Amino acid sequence: MTNRIAVAVETPQHTGVGVLDYLADQAWPPGTLLRVPLGRREVPGIVWHRGGDTELADDALRPAGPALEALPPLGEAWRRLVEFAAAYYQRGVGELALAVLPPELRKLDDVQLARRVAKLAKLAPPPAAEPPPRPEPSAEQQAALAALAEGTAPALLHGVTGSGKTEVYLRAAEQALDAGRQVLVLVPEINLTPQLEARFAARFPGRRLVSLHSALTPAQRLKNWLQAHLGTADLVLGTRLAVFASLPRLGLVVVDEEHDPSFKQQEGARYSARDLAVWRAHDAGVPVLLGSATPSLETWQRVQEGRYRRLALDARIGGGAMPRVRVFDMSRLPRQRGVDAPPLAPPVLEALKQRLERGEQSLLLLNRRGYAPVLHCGECGWKSGCPHCSAWRVFHKGDRTLRCHHCGFTERVPRACPDCGNQDIAPIGRGTEKLAEQLAELLPEARVARIDADSTRGAGALEQQLGAVHAGEVDVLVGTQMVAKGHDFRRITLVVAVNPDSALFASDFRAPERLFALLMQAAGRAGRDAEQAARSEMWIQTWNPQHALFDALKRHDYAAFAASQLDERRSAGLPPFSHLALLRAEAKSAEVATAFLDEAATLAEGVETIGLYPAVPPAVSRVADVERVQMLVESTSRPALQRFLAGWLPQLHALRPHHKGLIRWAVDVDPLAI
């Protein structure tokens, strides 16, 4: 036992980086999976490097357990990625490394694993089939592909829905595959994987394609991961966790809808898969394609600075135009006391009726599920608050429940006001359930369907409901942002944003950026055929018709919108002109959480390269009886922020025992919502 190895293990954060020294009976190469003793347990670990990290004498070290010899070691590039991500997002190397491997790997012993590896290695490649006919690239697509081949600086593929971005991904992938390389394609949502998977599979019949996302069974996920790791899979398509796939022959990275917030992990190591994809491609010296109609302002600013290239697809394939955007000023509607406002303004309703007459489809976007956001008693003022959260419980009429969308607390709707007994408690406001109900009343002849997180709970429910839309069995589709994304509807010629205003005044500085992206994306659902495009419309119902956001939307002018937002961000010192980290603390009382953050702030006193904001509660401060408080750290220099955090966090770990009642704390680097 004379070989010293440093092994990455999952340790509680306060023990440091998570790489510990052991003695091994063999000089296992770095990247080997093995089991090691930790405290009284035996845990999985990864040989991080040979030689050990500490000055400890050999007899102070414990012997490592058996290795998984059947698994080829994880490569150097993979370890570099994990090491970078762990350092950047302020987590332990071992914690992150083990969290991003398929969980099933820890359960198998060497014999079981050897059997699986042998089986996969024996899989014959699916027979080399003739590639199907593929469209000749348009001039714009050709230019984008030529530019992509010229260098490896990250490339923004900027084009609206239907402009042929996916076709560019396919062509770029073809080149990488022909060169014997693997291709990684990231998409924001599991729901979007099947249709993209189908397109890639159809285009590359002779190649092995695997998907990686959280809806796979553990066995499937292991199998797919192994194929990527063994190099037998050529194409890996997945959601954010796929950015950590082990890919020994990586040749191209694609991030579709790169602006989508789903690329940011919201627990544990809060990594941005988009940002890591860019880092990974750069590290591997391979091109990365970031596709979007509405790039994130971070990406857009890098284009302005010349650090990223912009490859533009300005026209829709087939010559279709984006729908004409029309804004209806809701203050023009007469208000009647005590009477529910109609869901659609007269000209919008008229537009909807026209679609019905012509047998075309309409999409009504309302980003609020449930029947009504709150129930209210007119007698005593009672409202359906959640007893565990600082939020209202939403009224769901379908199953007659009051449901908290933050903690899940659900009760039957009371027959009478719980405070005064008044029988007449009424819903206030409107969610998708109510909108669908009102439309069915307004237009009895129309087939109205609703798609949101509630309607699609069961396995296969979303596919089935989308299938009905595609099959033309639906005239009016009511949905949340879920239906705005990606789906290739062919017969929609009207999109209505029923009530988009709340995002205009949200406290989160990214809310307008997100609203613009959502509305552009929704607009892209309409008029994908040139012939339809001519009569396609998007209606916006708003109390703020003068807002610059709608103005830019009318002109489909992303660049103008981005420029005005970037001006605001620059003068406010917000990203991408500054770099943020958010320190969050959770406790049974806000005082305890705040005291922890205040002491953390004291530790940071005198550091000139960063600024600290006062500790404040987030928009929803109490969830499931836990109080949350957060503190923003800001710096104009990313490296300075990184240096500060790396020194600060170990001090915070040491601080923790002095704050009784503190449940947890965590740091979120580059937070999306603040």
Using CB under 6 A, list all residues that contact ligand ADP. 135-138, 141, 159, 161-167, 317
21 a known binding residue? no
**Closer by beta carbon to ligand ADP, 317 or else 641:** 317
Q: What is the 3-state secondary structure (H, E, C) of 623-664?
A: ECCEEEEEEEEEECCHHHHHHHHHHHHHHHHHHHHHCCCEEE
**Closer by beta carbon to ligand ADP, 26 or else 142:** 142
Q: Residue 380 binds what, of Zn ion, ligand ADP, none (CB under 5 to 8 Å, by partner type)?
A: Zn ion
**Closer by beta carbon to Zn ion, 156 or else 404:** 404
| Shortest distance, position 261 Cβ to ligand ADP, whole Å | 20
Q: Residue 409 binds what, of ligand ADP, Zn ion, none (CB under 5 to 8 Å, by partner type)?
A: Zn ion
| Shortest distance, position 522 Cβ to ligand ADP, whole Å | 14
- How would you class 413 by CB atoms within 10 Å of its CB: exposed for 0-12, middle for 13-18, buried for 19 or more? middle
| Shortest distance, position 524 Cβ to ligand ADP, whole Å | 7
| Shortest distance, position 580 Cβ to ligand ADP, whole Å | 31
417 a known binding residue? yes
Closest to 264 (Cα-Cα) out of 248, 280, 240: 240
**Range list of β-strands (E), 109-249:** 155-159, 182-186, 209-212, 235-238
Cis ω for the linkage preceding 125 (within 30 of 0): no
**Closer by beta carbon to ligand ADP, 165 or else 309:** 165
**Closer by beta carbon to ligand ADP, 144 or else 652:** 144
| Shortest distance, position 21 Cβ to ligand ADP, whole Å | 50
List Cβ neighbours of 36 (8 Å cut-off, separation of 6 or more).
7, 9, 20, 22, 42, 43, 45, 62, 64, 65
| Shortest distance, position 620 Cβ to Zn ion, whole Å | 9
**Range list of β-strands (E), 485-619:** 492-497, 537-542, 579-587, 611-612
Q: State the CB neighbour count (10 A cutoff) for residue 657.
A: 9
List Cβ neighbours of 632 (8 Å cut-off, separation of 6 or more).
580, 581, 582, 583, 612, 613, 674
CA-based torsion, 357, 360, 361, 364: positive or negative: negative
Q: What are phi and psi of 415, to 5 degrees?
A: -70, -35
Q: Residue 304 binds what, of ligand ADP, Zn ion, none (CB under 5 to 8 Å, by partner type)?
A: none
Q: Residue 167 binds what, of ligand ADP, Zn ion, none (CB under 5 to 8 Å, by partner type)?
A: ligand ADP
488 a known binding residue? no
Q: Residue 166 binds what, of ligand ADP, Zn ion, none (CB under 5 to 8 Å, by partner type)?
A: ligand ADP
Q: Residue 422 binds what, of Zn ion, ligand ADP, none (CB under 5 to 8 Å, by partner type)?
A: Zn ion
Helix or strand run (H / E) with residue 105: none
The contact set with Zn ion (CB under 5 A) reads 377, 379-380, 382, 386, 388-389, 404, 406-407, 409, 417, 419-420, 422
Q: Residue 541 binds what, of ligand ADP, Zn ion, none (CB under 5 to 8 Å, by partner type)?
A: none
Q: Could you say which DSSP state residue 67 is in?
A: B
452 a known binding residue? no
Tokens 């990527």 -> residue: 228
| Shortest distance, position 50 Cβ to ligand ADP, whole Å | 46
Judged by DSSP in three states, 380 sits in coil
| Shortest distance, position 392 Cβ to ligand ADP, whole Å | 37
Closest to 173 (Cα-Cα) out of 160, 157, 194: 157
Q: Residue 159 binds what, of ligand ADP, Zn ion, none (CB under 5 to 8 Å, by partner type)?
A: ligand ADP
**Range list of β-strands (E), 330-435:** 361-365, 374-377, 394-396, 401-403, 410-412, 425-428
3 a known binding residue? no
Closest to 249 (Cα-Cα) out of 191, 323, 182: 182
| Shortest distance, position 559 Cβ to ligand ADP, whole Å | 18
Q: Residue 382 binds what, of ligand ADP, Zn ion, none (CB under 5 to 8 Å, by partner type)?
A: Zn ion
How long is the chain? 674
The CA distance from 7 to 126, in Å, is 38
- CA triple 294-297-298, angle to 5 deg: 125
386 a known binding residue? yes
Closest to 292 (Cα-Cα) out of 502, 551, 559, 496: 559
Chain-centre distance of CA 502, in angstroms? 21
Known binding residues for Zn(2+): 377, 380, 386, 389, 404, 407, 417, 420
Known binding residues: 377, 380, 386, 389, 404, 407, 417, 420
